[in-house]
Amino acid sequence: MDSIGQREAGFYTNSVNIAAKIFAEHSDFIYAILCYKVRDKAQADDLYQDFFLSLVAKPVPAGIKDIRSYLYRAITNDIIDATRRVDRYQARMRKYAEVFNYVTNNNTPEKTLIAEEDDEIFKLIGRCLPSSEARAITLRFKNNRDITEVAAKMSVDKRSVSRYISVGLKKIRHFLRTRKNGN
């Protein structure tokens, strides 16, 4: 190992020892600040580990009188930096997806469940209602069409569409109420 490599190794060994000493003395304080600022235990744990590395890379300057104030500010800055890194990463991924025409999955489990329930409701509508009422409701609510568009698609006037929807929804509510009550 050359002399530059030896100096770097000595610097990092010394920095690791200093960071370990600070963590030994102030670990509860550091973790408490992280938990307060982040409020997500898993993220706080990750930031706790990252903060140790941050102290190794940039040790506490000599002559700091109030170490806790310094640590508080350093922790806050590390949290801000981590948030920015995540935001930049997500922005790059979105841009990458746009460039290569990948569809990003914005569906959460809740949205997926709601979509599945919606599909079941529209299947029920198709089975329980006359075709005109089922089609009007499906076009209006599943396909997000306004009354005028539904009327044009079904080749009827707007009043007929409103009537189909009104009567159809009334029948479905009655059916669901009866089914819920076990009758």
The whole-number pLDDT of residue 118 equals 78
End-to-end, the C-alpha distance of the chain in Å comes to 85
Output the CA–CA distances (angstroms, integers) from residue 76 to 8, 14, 16, 120, 141, in the order listed: 28, 24, 21, 48, 47
Task: Please give the mean pLDDT across all residues of the chain.
Answer: 84
Please name the fold of domain 3-99: Rna Polymerase Sigma Factor; Chain: A (1.10.1740)
Please name the fold of domain 109-181: Arc Repressor Mutant, subunit A (1.10.10)
Q: How do the domains of the chain map onto residue ranges?
A: 3-99, 109-181
Reported as a single tens digit per residue, the pLDDT across 36-76 is 998 888 889 999 999 999 998 888 888 889 999 999 999 99
Half-sphere exposure of 96 (CA within 13 A, CB side): 6
Q: Which residues of the chain have pLDDT under 70?
A: 1-12, 101-108, 110-113, 183
